């Protein structure tokens, strides 16, 4: 197993956080110390402790080791918009050096760091750079989350091709059922198994997330669907 993985999505709202938390809890069950890292998060709430993003908080809770919120999420933005828009509105500059420093620190505290991306693979952080540029700089292995819905085959293949074109490796992918009923589900999974690089490390069934107080328990239950051993079979 690598000491860091980047979780990319085929789009926004495909379940990157759900899958990342499931991986983190699966690691706990196999005695692997793993910590979540959400370098950039948009869509946060003001709290007495400052801006807090719900996805980053879930990653912090699911981590095997105790880390501060700022360690998990160095860039927190208020509005749920693309990072380059949010950063401009808040007069901030997203610096790759700060992202790398945070990753290096977390690597000293756990066997593995699980880094959750923002949006899709080519999400911009300014007018000329993308978050994927930093992933390429760090040469991170990628786990791809595919939200299973109409159009996902195209999105998944284009995303995988972009990752490979950046010189990176898709070490595994997760099929996440984001709707209660999905027409041709089995046929789509079969196609993805035949065409995507990397191994399918999980199929996550549809589970409604309408009760925030139940999210942690749900993510713990979803860990049963994750096969971390496949990440070692390179």
Catalytic residues: 38
User: Checking DSSP bridges between strand 45-47 and strand 50-52, what pairing results, if any?
Assistant: antiparallel
198 is in an annotated binding site: no
SS3 call for 157: helix
Q: Is 30 annotated as a binding residue?
A: no
Per DSSP, helices labelled H in 123-225 are 131-138, 152-165, 185-195, 215-222
- Catalogue the E-assigned strands of 2-140: 4-9, 34-37, 40-42, 45-47, 50-52, 75-77, 112-120
CB 62 within 8 A of CB 102: no
13 is in an annotated binding site: yes
Question: How far apart are the C-alpha atoms of 97 and 106, rounded to whole Å?
Answer: 14
Nearest to 127 by CA among 63, 83, 157: 83
Q: Is 177 assigned a ligand-binding role in the annotation? A: yes
Residue 71 annotated in ligand binding: no
**207 marked as binding residue:** yes
147 annotated as belonging to a binding site for a ligand: no
Q: What share of the chain is helix, strand, coil (3-state, %, to 5)?
A: 40, 25, 35
Does 118 show up as a binding residue in the annotation?
Answer: yes
- Burial pattern 93-111, b for ≥16 Cβ within 10 A else e, equals ebeeeebeebbeebeeebb
Asked whether residue 14 is marked as a ligand-binding residue, the answer is yes
Phi, psi (rounded to 5 degrees) for 42: -110, 145
Q: Residue 91 has what DSSP assignment?
A: T
| 15 in a labelled binding site | yes
120: annotated binding-site residue?
A: no
Query: Is 117 assigned to a binding site?
Result: yes
Residues flagged as binding site for Mg(2+): 17, 55, 116
Residues flagged as binding site for substrate: 42
Residues flagged as binding site for ATP: 13-18, 55, 116-119, 176-177, 205-207
Residues flagged as binding site: 13-18, 42, 55, 116-119, 176-177, 205-207
């Amino acid at each position: 197993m690598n000491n860091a993985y980047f979780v990319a999505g085929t789009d926004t709202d495909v379940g990157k956080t759900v899958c990342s938390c499931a991986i983190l809890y699966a690691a706990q069950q196999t005695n692997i110390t793993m910590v979540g890292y959400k370098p950039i998060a948009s869509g946060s709430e003001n709290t007495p402790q400052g801006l807090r993003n719900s996805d980053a908080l879930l990653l912090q809770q699911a981590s095997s080791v105790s880390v501060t919120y700022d360690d998990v999420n160095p860039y927190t933005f208020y509005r749920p918009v693309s990072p380059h828009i949010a950063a401009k509105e808040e007069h901030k500059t997203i610096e790759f050096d700060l992202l790398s420093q945070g990753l290096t620190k977390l690597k000293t505290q756990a066997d593995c760091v699980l880094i959750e991306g923002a949006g899709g693979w080519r999400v911009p952080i300014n007018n000329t750079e993308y978050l994927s540029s930093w992933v390429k700089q760090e040469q991170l292995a990628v786990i791809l989350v595919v939200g299973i819905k109409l159009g996902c085959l195209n999105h998944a293949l284009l995303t995988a091709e972009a990752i490979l074109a950046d010189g990176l490796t898709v070490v595994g992918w997760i099929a996440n059922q984001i709707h209660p009923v999905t027409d041709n589900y089995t046929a789509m999974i079969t196609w993805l198994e035949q065409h995507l690089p990397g191994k399918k490390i999980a199929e996550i069934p549809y589970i409604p997330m309408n009760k925030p107080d139940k999210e942690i328990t749900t993510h713990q239950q979803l860990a049963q669907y994750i096969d971390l051993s496949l990440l070692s079979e390179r």
